[in-house]
Chain A
Amino acid sequence: MNRTRKGKQSSRSLLVSWVPYFLLILSCIPVFLINSSSAAEIVIGSKKFTESYVLGEIAKRTLTEAAIPAEHRQGMGGTIILWQALRGGQIDAYPEYTGTIGQEILKSDHASSLDEIRESLAKFGVGMTNPLGFNNTYALVMRRSEAQRLGVRTISDLRKHPELKIGFTHEFLDRRDGWRPLRERYALPQQNVIGIDHALGYSALANGSIDVKDAYSTDAKIEENDLVALEDDLHFFPNYEGVLLFRLNMSADAIAALRRLEGTLDEKGMTRLNAEAERTKNYTRAANLYFESGAGSPNTAGESFPQKLARWTLRHLQLAGFSLMLSVIFGIPLGIVASRGGAIGQAILGFASIVQTIPSLALLALLVPFPFFGISVRTAIAALFLYGLLPIVRNTASGLQDIPRSLRESAIALGLSPITRLWEIYLPMASRSILSGIKTSAVINVGTATLAALIGAGGLGEPILSGLNLNDHVTILQGAIPAALLALLVQWFFDLLDRVLIPKGLRL
């Protein structure tokens, strides 16, 4: 009888000492599931707004029809992120505008000719197609009724109405051809200016929270929401001809295929495609409209919702799971070192705390310029790993520090070796605290992983982002609800894990 009791005893302590391995194996599962796309594919990027998505789809389909395998990473963020990704080779091509190239990428002070732009880009190993045929310049838009009531027709007319509330996209607020120089040129008096997401701005405009916002001249929402674009009577905005930027080391076939799109899409056509995309919530279908004959062909038909949900959820779990594994692997040893205090301990806790204070979007943007990271799943995992570190490090350290001195001394006085003391006494005694740190990390990671979509890493952030962009609540909820359920599930799973992994003597 005593023999069997002893057996139970050692299996329990064995189980406890296997905690880290168990977690490691658990979170390893997603790694094997991450399947990077084949290397030979042309990767097309796009910015986070409808027109860029549609152009990305058109470019993809053009390449596919020329028998060149292509992949489209949707909505990867702003100009600088895409430009860095293009230079770094994480993407091979993306849609851009001549005005943006001159102002934001090359940072030239005067309006450059196409040849000048092309020459400057070549220094970076980047080529540019001729204009695709439409000029999508910036415009300031107002509600039609309001504009008529106040008699505002041009941007100059805004001078007479300093009380108007303005909401601009963050990019427009900071651009060299954006709000600040515009205000100077027109001597605009408005003080009440806020930064707001592009798609949300339309809702704000509709409900009167703001009166004026920035828009693109081919934006289908202008028509849809009954808005008017104010005339740029002082010719402030440069030309924004739509073009494709591509890497010059791309195959000649691929370049030739993309150049076939030159001059084929005028402003009216582009506006129609944008409207179609927003109406159907399907960028592939809108792109198909461009090819007319190919519309609705089976190989480009969208996935069904369950398929998409499965793909998003799987990727979401991969992102959160793999980053959690890294946080555990690095967090627990760092926490052990930190628990000893001293300068090194302070430094570790300080570093982990500072990382936590960086906004997640900024952390992603900071990692993108590094060659190893760029626009990739790696970047998203690295950022999530860093966020997951603090709760684990802090809880491991405090769990160990909370062990009474008398018990530490008892372990030493017994003659146990330092490794045995840590492994069999201190870590099991701190297990509740360590596990609760891991739980916090897991829940944070599942939530923060939605932001991975900003750099094209996928996950449940993808529908949230495109829903935000389309101002479509149903699409947002398609991502938000599963993400919330996942967080609850993770919480519940770890509560269960507590019962298995925390030694019984500590739970009585």
Chain B
Amino acid sequence: MSALIRLVHVSKGYADATALRSTNLAIERGKTTVVIGPSGCGKSTLLRLIIGLIEPDSGSIEFDGASVTADNVAALRRRIGYVIQEGGLFPHLTARANVVLMARHVGKSQEEMQSRLLELCELTRFSDNLLPRYPVELSGGQRQRVSLMRALMLSPQLLLLDEPLGALDPLVRAALQKDLKEIFARLRQTVLFVTHDLAEAIYFGDEIVLMNGGRIVQKGSVTDLREKPADPFVLEFINAQRGLASL
């Protein structure tokens, strides 16, 4: 099966530094690919390039076989769900309005939206009694569930998660991790998950992409990374996180 997303020699630089060196990457359908690395390694740049928030300086990005251009990027965004660390919910809209916002604009009927909404509540374990609440009236974990519902509303081909659990306390985080993994499996969802936490990467990742200094150091399973490190940095990164965990 061909890759859903393919980056070919993509690079991006900012005035002061190179954020992403010439990079090739394929993201397989139906799998969860986790991008991991220290702060400033270029993992967020990678994600922002794929969703089209920034444009590459060189190289091309293919989505489902078609090259991403300025003309089709708006349409492609509707086939991608996006969840960020703080949820990115609009504070002036209720949970329900946040979730159905885009569906309303593409002209879905009330009935369609309603049944999809209830389906998503069940899937994300979010009580539909809370739908009329505003984001400030929800807990951090509840907000992330609403944000996930919003991302999944139009049944996207790809789900992008940018450190979605980073701002949650450990108990909420553990519960949400478990639910997320179940959801991905149930939907056979193609997921690109960005984190800086190795344990989380191992828990979710069918495939792990380790980045450092604006380039991909190694791509493979956790066993590959452990047993056939491509670079001294791979071991260094793994050992540093392990050291913390064993404390």
Q: Which residues of A contact B (CB under 8 A)?
A: 2-3, 5-6, 9, 13, 16, 406-407, 409-417, 420, 424-425, 428-429, 431, 503-506, 508
Q: Which residues of A contact B53 (CB under 8 A)?
A: 409, 412-413
Q: Which residues of A contact B94 (CB under 8 A)?
A: 9, 505
The residue on B at minimum CB distance from A409 is: B53
- Contact mask B108-150 → A, CB, 8 Å, 1/0? 0010001000000000000010011011110000000000001
Q: Which residues of B contact A503 (CB under 8 A)?
A: 92-93
Bound CA–CA A5/B93 (angstroms) = 13
Q: What are 9 residue pairs bridging A and B, where the CB atoms are less than 8 Å apart in the complex?
A: A5-B131, A9-B97, A406-B86, A412-B77, A414-B82, A414-B150, A415-B74, A505-B134, A508-B137
- Contact mask B45-78 → A, CB, 8 Å, 1/0? 0001001010000000000000000000011011
Q: Is A414 in contact with B102, judged by CB distance below 8 angstroms?
A: yes
Q: Which residues of B contact A (CB under 8 A)?
A: 48, 51, 53, 74-75, 77-78, 80, 82, 84-86, 88-94, 96-97, 101-102, 105, 110, 114, 128, 131-132, 134-137, 150
Q: Is A428 in contact with B80, judged by CB distance below 8 angstroms?
A: no
Q: Is A428 in contact with B82, judged by CB distance below 8 angstroms?
A: no
Partner among A2, A417, A429, A431 whose Cβ is within 8 Å of the Cβ of B90: A429
Known: A5-B132, A406-B84, A410-B84. Contact between A417 and B74, CB under 8 A?
yes
Q: Is B82 in contact with A2, judged by CB distance below 8 angstroms?
A: no
Q: Which residues of B contact A5 (CB under 8 A)?
A: 96, 131-132
Q: Is B91 in contact with A505, judged by CB distance below 8 angstroms?
A: yes
Bound CA–CA A461/B145 (angstroms) = 59
Q: Is A2 in contact with B114, judged by CB distance below 8 angstroms?
A: yes
The residue in A6, A9, A413, A503 that gathers the most chain B C-beta atoms within 10 A of its C-beta is A413
Q: Which residues of B contact A505 (CB under 8 A)?
A: 90-94, 134-136
Partner among B82, B85, B91, B105 whose Cβ is within 8 Å of the Cβ of A413: B82
Q: Is A416 in contact with B105, judged by CB distance below 8 angstroms?
A: yes
Known: A13-B97, A420-B105, A505-B93. Contact between A410 and B134, CB under 8 A?
no
Q: Is A429 in contact with B91, judged by CB distance below 8 angstroms?
A: yes
Partner among B88, B89, B102, B134 whose Cβ is within 8 Å of the Cβ of A504: B134
Q: Is B102 in contact with A416, judged by CB distance below 8 angstroms?
A: yes
Interface of A is mostly: helix
Bound CA–CA A122/B51 (angstroms) = 75
Bound CA–CA A462/B78 (angstroms) = 61
Bound CA–CA A3/B132 (angstroms) = 12
Q: Which residues of B contact A406 (CB under 8 A)?
A: 84-86, 88
Give min CB distance, B143 to chain A, whole Å: 12
Known: A5-B132, A415-B74. Contact between A409 and B88, CB under 8 A?
yes
The residue on A at minimum CB distance from B79 is: A415
Q: Is B82 in contact with A506, judged by CB distance below 8 angstroms?
A: no
Bound CA–CA A417/B74 (angstroms) = 8
Give min CB distance, B146 to chain A, whole Å: 12
Q: Which residues of A contact B135 (CB under 8 A)?
A: 505
Q: Which residues of B contact A508 (CB under 8 A)?
A: 134, 136-137
The residue on A at minimum CB distance from B131 is: A5
Bound CA–CA A412/B88 (angstroms) = 11
Bound CA–CA A490/B86 (angstroms) = 39
Bound CA–CA A5/B91 (angstroms) = 18
Q: Is A415 in contact with B88, judged by CB distance below 8 angstroms?
A: no
Q: Is A9 in contact with B96, judged by CB distance below 8 angstroms?
A: yes
Known: A505-B134, A508-B137. Contact between A429 and B92, CB under 8 A?
yes
The residue on A at minimum CB distance from B104 is: A10
Q: Which residues of A contact B110 (CB under 8 A)?
A: 3, 6
Known: A406-B88, A413-B77. 8 other contacts (CB 8 A): A3-B110, A410-B82, A411-B90, A413-B80, A413-B82, A415-B74, A429-B90, A503-B93
Q: Which residues of A contact B48 (CB under 8 A)?
A: 409
Bound CA–CA A406/B90 (angstroms) = 10
Q: Which residues of A contact B74 (CB under 8 A)?
A: 415, 417
Q: Which residues of A contact B105 (CB under 8 A)?
A: 416-417, 420
Bound CA–CA A429/B98 (angstroms) = 14
Q: Which residues of A contact B97 (CB under 8 A)?
A: 9, 13
Give min CB distance, A432 to chain B, whole Å: 10
Give min CB distance, A264 to chain B, whole Å: 72
Bound CA–CA A222/B136 (angstroms) = 71
Bound CA–CA A431/B128 (angstroms) = 29
Q: Which residues of B contact A16 (CB under 8 A)?
A: 92
Bound CA–CA A431/B135 (angstroms) = 17
Give min CB distance, B185 to chain A, whole Å: 24
Q: Is A414 in contact with B114, judged by CB distance below 8 angstroms?
A: no
Q: Is B96 in contact with A414, judged by CB distance below 8 angstroms?
A: no
Bound CA–CA A3/B92 (angstroms) = 20
Bound CA–CA A414/B77 (angstroms) = 6
Give min CB distance, A178 to chain B, whole Å: 61
Q: Which residues of B contact A431 (CB under 8 A)?
A: 92
The residue on A at minimum CB distance from B135 is: A505
Q: Is A415 in contact with B134, judged by CB distance below 8 angstroms?
A: no
The residue on A at minimum CB distance from B82 is: A413
Q: Which residues of A contact B82 (CB under 8 A)?
A: 410, 413-414
Q: Is A506 in contact with B51, judged by CB distance below 8 angstroms?
A: no
The residue on B at minimum CB distance from A417 is: B74
Bound CA–CA A308/B102 (angstroms) = 57
Q: Is A6 in contact with B102, judged by CB distance below 8 angstroms?
A: no
Q: Which residues of A contact B102 (CB under 8 A)?
A: 414-416
Q: Is B84 in contact with A415, judged by CB distance below 8 angstroms?
A: no
The residue in A13, A504, A505, A506 that gathers the most chain B C-beta atoms within 10 A of its C-beta is A505
Bound CA–CA A416/B134 (angstroms) = 20
Q: Which residues of B contact A410 (CB under 8 A)?
A: 82, 84, 88-90
